[in-house]
Amino acid sequence: MTEHKTDCLQALFSAAQDVQRTFPEFSFFVNDDHMFVEALKHGYLEAAKWIKQNRKNATTMVPLPGAFPTICANGHLDVIQWLYQVNLQPQDMLTLWEGVNKANQKGHQHVVQWLKQTHPEVEFFP
């Protein structure tokens, strides 16, 4: 099932690139950064990896600070762990705190515990 989702997303991203080439005036609606962040927020890790590997500006992709709390709120621990692996983790404490808080509010204790273990130097909440 995951492979099918990834194949569908790859087709969608390729179609978006065709739209960018054909109608450059609409390219601000569809870009690699936006697709990358949306894939991460929705837990489509394989699609995000594919975008990072295959898109022309993939090396500069950094999730927007607002995306990390959403990823945490959605409970996508696999995505969070991958972001840390490829050095795309949050760069500021506020984003990290917000991510932990959102995960806690949504009941994703696996995310809360992993982030607490990863950042023992940070006091989040009791």
Domain ranges, ordered by start, for the chain: 1-61, 62-126
Task: Please provide residue 95's backbone torsions phi and psi, each rounded to the nearest 5 degrees.
Answer: -65, -40
Q: Cα–Cα distance between 21 and 105 in angstroms, integer?
A: 42
Q: Cα–Cα distance between 88 and 113 in angstroms, integer?
A: 19
Position 106 pLDDT exceeds 80: yes
Position 1 pLDDT exceeds 70: no
19 vs 75, higher pLDDT:
75
10 vs 78, higher pLDDT:
78
62 vs 86, higher pLDDT:
86
Mean pLDDT of the chain: 80
pLDDT band at 46 (very low <50, low <70, confident <90, very high): confident
Those residues with Cβ within 8 angstroms of residue 92's Cβ, 6 or more apart along the chain or in another chain: 65
Per-residue pLDDT, averaged over 89-114, amounts to 93
Radius of gyration of the chain (CA): 16
Cβ atoms of residues 32 and 60 within 8 Å: no
Position 40 pLDDT exceeds 70: yes
Transcribe 44-103 into DSSP letters. -HHHHHHHHHHSTTGGG----TTHHHHHHHTT-HHHHHHHHHTT-S-SSHHHHHHHHHHH
